[in-house]
Amino acid sequence: MLRGLRDMKLDEAVRINHHLLDACAALDRARMAIAGLGKAERIKLEESFYGIVGALENELLQPIYEQYPDLEPPKSDREPYAYICELTWDEVKLPPGVTEQQFDEIIFSVMKPTWRKTSMMVTYVMNRCKELGLAIEGEVIAARLKVLSDSDRIEGIGDLRSWLHSEVRLKD
């Protein structure tokens, strides 16, 4: 824990918070650089990377926010980042007349070989489904993207359940 948080002065907390938020931005740039690596290298680095990010948020920033709540960014700014989709593919029931293969074709029709946030891909697939007259929720799309990544049919980086902390692309 940070040096005697109970005794930390506001000006110290502000300065430390500023530097930690700079570190978060640097880690986000590092995450993008890691995304450019081959799958084996990415997998090796991801576990450590997300452990560092979690420690930064939970063990460094959160204690500051507990002592000085006004320093914490508004929850409305942070909620999308905390969103985790817990739906798994085995819990999904596609609309009548839609097969997994057809659903995969819809997903592949909007994917590119460049990295895109999972949230962006969910939106693109949802829009394409609406054009086709299909009411398919974002959680269903995200669950399928995870299956496609886990089965090595697409590439994914990060925890695909966390839409803004993960990315997907077509395999090279």
Average pLDDT in the 8-24 region?
A: 88
Whether domain 89-170 has CATH 1.10.275: no
At 6, is the pLDDT very low, low, confident or very high (cuts 50, 70, 90)? low
Q: What is the pTM of this model?
A: 0.59
CA distance 101 to 136: 15
* Most confident by average pLDDT, 16-30, 39-53, 130-144: 130-144
Tokens encoding 3: 């040096």
Task: Name the more confident of 145 and 28.
Answer: 145
What pLDDT is attached to residue 83? 55
Average pLDDT in the 63-75 region?
A: 83
What pLDDT is attached to residue 75? 57
The angle formed by the CA atoms of residues 164, 169 and 172, to the nearest 5 degrees, is 155
Enumerate the domain spans of the chain.
Answer: 5-72, 89-170
Q: Decide if pLDDT at 9 tops 50.
A: yes
The angle formed by the CA atoms of residues 157, 161 and 166, to the nearest 5 degrees, is 30
